[in-house]
Amino acid sequence: MRSDLAALALLLTTTTAASAQEPLSAIDWLSDSVTTAAQPSQDDAPVSNGALPGKITVEPLDAPRPNDVGLFAPEAVGLPDALWSGAETGHLSELFAGLPVDALPSLRRMTKDLLSARAAPPPGDGASLFLSRVDALLRMGDIDRAGRLLERAGGTDPRLFRRAFDVALLNGSENRACARMRRAPEIAPTYAARVFCLARGGDWRAAALTLEAGDALGVIGSAEDRLLARFLDPAIADSTVSLPPPRDPTPLSFAMLAAIGEPMGTTGLPLAFAHFDLRPTAGWSHRIAAAERLARAGAIAPARLFEVYDDRQPPASGGTWDRVEAVQDAMRAISGSMPDAVNATLPDAWTEMQAAGLASVFARHLSPDLSNMPLDGAAQEAALEMALLTDDYAAAADSAGDALPRDVAIVLGRAPLPDDASPKVTALREGLAGEVAPPERLTRLVDEDRTGEALLLAAEDIDRGAAGDLDELAPSLAFLVQMGLDGTARRTALEILMLDRGA
């Protein structure tokens, strides 16, 4: 055992704990799961040990470079080219780091499309812009998009693997991440990640040896050592007092705490951690809270929330349970194509979801099934409001006729602008109609091949306008229209009219 420990310690000391250079936007809850191989001194020029040519590094010509990676071309989602090529990477990283998680739904969708699209980076950027894009998506809780970007990037850059490892922990595919770690000798895991993966693979002896080696070298902190020891030995976890929860947990520490029967709540943690509570092992109330939080932020598809809602019957009444029951009743009526039942149940469900800030989620999921259903009264009004919050808003407005709400008709240009229109309605109408000039600072950015930056700044202006600061609302909406994003501008205007902040 002692010789095994010495050999393992020698092997593990060939790497250092210094992380590769991270972008300015790097999030502070990433797990410390990979190290960077110790680099030779750069003071002296390399010296050949013989007459033969030095080692040649080979890289496939078709290997993707991170900054060339995207989920789709910009034009596929209506975005222009030259999103970032004229920008400065450090400035973009700061901008990405400040993106809100509670933006209006259509602006949030545009923002995520900007982060996910293939686009040329600034010259000489390396991988920094790609990492900043991934970090922004992780910060917004969208581990699906972040994970797909990382998968397409591939490679063994420790900064990429570090994020991919955490995505795997968050979505429950950690065994795949550990397998990838074993297959890639270029990836040097930290002691904690190595212990975790060895244990997940059933090699408990090697995991224990690794922990002992880390202790012997003094590179494992006391808190981490206690957690790893309990993770490896259930007897310790069962016979000792619970560990104090870490102040700033990482996905790795969170997963190990859950494994030893000391799970943390996710309510006060960064949004991405809520994905842990979507697992079937979590209690139903925790799954509902997590699904609502993620759906509200657009971090999961609406269908995922309604799958959680439909899992079982509410065990009590009041609060969340009243909302779940109302939604279940409406879903059964809609799926059964029963207009009378929909008339009876839809208004309550719509009111509950509006109050919970989930109106747009409810509308996107259920509105298509209501389009040809004969409804009346409050249910008909609710169905129209829901349809106006979807991509089919124009068809809904066409079919509504005189039932179209007054302010909606004014904003969409289907009714004249009256003298008594509110300042917000006036700004929305003028912005969509192009009756004001777009901000010069934004059009200048477009001329400088900084279109993505301009669109994000326009979204900031519009979000502030939704909250009451109307100065740049009309000009920034006009900018979206000028850039060919008329649908985004119109959907956003309707959301400003019809949603409470964050709905």
pLDDT in tens, 236-277: 766 677 888 899 999 999 999 999 999 999 999 999 999 999
Confidence of residue 150 (pLDDT cuts 50, 70, 90): very high
Decide if 492 contacts 360 (C-beta within 8 A): no
Angle at the Cα of 99 (from 95 to 105), degrees rounded to 5?
140
Torsion of CA 82, 87, 90, 91, to 10 degrees: -110
Q: Which pLDDT does position 364 carry in this prediction? A: 98
Q: Which pLDDT does position 153 carry in this prediction? A: 93
Average pLDDT over residues 337-357: 98
Q: Which pLDDT does position 218 carry in this prediction? A: 87
Asked if the model's pLDDT at residue 305 lies above 90, the reply is yes
Which residue do the tokens 């089919």 mark? 392
Distance, CA of 475 to CA of 436 (rounded, Å) = 6
pLDDT in tens, 165-220: 999 999 999 999 999 888 888 888 999 999 999 999 999 999 999 999 998 998 88
Asked if the model's pLDDT at residue 46 lies above 50, the reply is no
State the number of CA atoms in the 13 A half-sphere of 54 facing the CB: 6
State the number of CA atoms in the 13 A half-sphere of 67 facing the CB: 15
Task: Pick the most confident of 116-120, 126-130, 494-498.
Answer: 494-498
Distance, CA of 10 to CA of 332 (rounded, Å) = 63
| Token pair of 88 as six digits | 């400065």
Distance, CA of 348 to CA of 419 (rounded, Å) = 35
Question: Mean pLDDT score of the chain, rounded to an integer?
Answer: 89
DSSP string of 304-352, one letter each residue: HHHHHHTTS--SS-STHHHHHHHHHHHHHHHHTT-HHHHHHHHHHHHHH
CA 308 to each of CA 141, 287, 355, 434: distance values in angstroms, whole numbers, following the listed order? 18, 7, 19, 43
Q: Which pLDDT does position 16 carry in this prediction? A: 41
Contacts of 406 (CB under 8 A, 6+ apart): 415
Residue 35 phi/psi, 5-degree rounding, is -115, 170
Name the strand (E) or helix (H) holding 450: none
CA 416 to each of CA 401, 406, 413, 420, 477: distance values in angstroms, whole numbers, following the listed order? 15, 10, 7, 11, 19
Decide if 36 contacts 15 (C-beta within 8 A): yes
Task: Pick the most confident of 115-124, 177-186, 362-371.
Answer: 362-371
pLDDT in tens, 371-418: 999 999 999 999 999 999 999 999 999 999 999 999 999 999 999 999
Average pLDDT over residues 38-49: 44
Decide if 139 contacts 101 (C-beta within 8 A): yes
Q: Which pLDDT does position 54 carry in this prediction? A: 45
Q: Which pLDDT does position 149 carry in this prediction? A: 97
Asked if the model's pLDDT at residue 124 lies above 70, the reply is yes
Q: Which pLDDT does position 71 carry in this prediction? A: 96
Q: Which pLDDT does position 304 carry in this prediction? A: 98
Q: Which pLDDT does position 22 carry in this prediction? A: 62
Average pLDDT over residues 115-134: 90
Confidence of residue 21 (pLDDT cuts 50, 70, 90): low
Asked if the model's pLDDT at residue 9 lies above 50, the reply is no
Instruction: Name the more confident of 216 and 44.
Output: 216
The percentage of the chain sitting over the pLDDT mark of 70, rounded to a whole number, equals: 87
Q: Which pLDDT does position 447 carry in this prediction? A: 96
Q: Which pLDDT does position 38 carry in this prediction? A: 43
Torsion of CA 131, 134, 136, 137, to 10 degrees: 180
